[in-house]
Amino acid sequence: MINATQLRPGMIIIYEGDLYRVASVKHLTPGNKRGFMQTKLKNLRTGLGTENKFRSEDRVERATLETRSMQYLYGDGDLHTFMDTESYEQTSLPAEDVGEILSFLLPDHIVQIEFFDGKPVGISPPPSVDLEVVETEPNMKGATASASYKPAKLETGITIHVPPFVQVGDRVRVDPSEGKYLERVK
């Protein structure tokens, strides 16, 4: 159990018998009243969001999660299959649970999946992934004076902004949580 003042975005708590991910937290003190924590929570079972107020002295149960390294194997329609790198056990997740990082995943990429009571409840992308540029505009001569970026389509189909020197066929390192170019890979 933790105090409500210790809630942080990304934490998973047990509230009213369900698992919730804390989306945002604000500490508010209105006038001469006692302070409270205004939170936005997402129910991990239903996917619905809710707002809730906790008094500063309220105690909240934090969920104990098990994190496993899992390798992305393949996508089959709406289901995406991952394999535990230690036990070789496979787990399939719907695309909505995998989220936006799916746009940056290729087979063999390693992700961290959080489990609660043996069921997957969250996924964390790798810090960076290396992807090939399959489509971009040609480099314009003399366009190096300013820090301009151009769109580039990657092998997974997502488009990001890259510096002008990046060409088709180059491999680039991307931060999947932000969707941003980090560097060109040699």
Domain of residue 58, residue span: 2-62
Final residue of a structural domain among 19, 44, 62:
62
Q: How far apart are CA 122 and CA 117, in angstroms?
A: 13
Instruction: Give the tokens for residue 13.
Output: 């708590």
Contact 56, 37 (CB under 8 A): yes
Q: Are residues 116 and 140 in the same domain?
A: no
What pLDDT, on a 0 to 100 scale, did the predictor assign at position 145? 56
Q: What is the 3-state secondary structure (H, E, C) of 12-36?
A: EEEECCEEEEEEEEEEECCCCCCCE
Q: Are residues 75 and 58 in the same domain?
A: no
Q: Are residues 117 and 79 in the same domain?
A: yes
Report the predicted TM-score, pTM, of the whole model to 2 decimal places: 0.72
Number of domains in the chain: 3
Low-confidence residues in the chain, pLDDT < 70: 140-147
Q: Residue 6: give its domain's CATH number.
A: 2.30.30.30
3 state DSSP class of 94: strand
Q: Are residues 115 and 81 in the same domain?
A: yes
88 DSSP 8-state letter: -
3 state DSSP class of 141: coil
Q: Are residues 35 and 8 in the same domain?
A: yes
Instruction: Give the tokens for residue 78.
Output: 């709406």
Q: Residue 106: give its domain's CATH number.
A: 2.40.50.140
pLDDT tens digits, residue range 25-76? 999 888 888 889 999 998 887 888 999 999 988 999 998 889 999 999 999 8
Q: Are residues 6 and 58 in the same domain?
A: yes
Q: How far apart are CA 159 and CA 130, in angstroms?
A: 14
What pLDDT, on a 0 to 100 scale, did the predictor assign at position 168? 94
Q: What angle do CA 106, 85, 76 make, to 5 degrees?
A: 40
Q: Are residues 118 and 135 in the same domain?
A: no
Q: Are residues 57 and 75 in the same domain?
A: no
Q: Are residues 52 and 20 in the same domain?
A: yes
What pLDDT, on a 0 to 100 scale, did the predictor assign at position 143? 57
Q: Which residues lie closer than 8 Å to 23 by C-beta, 6 or more apart?
A: 9, 39, 40, 41, 42, 49
Q: How far apart are CA 114 and CA 154, in angstroms?
A: 28
Strand pairing class (79-84; 171-175): unpaired
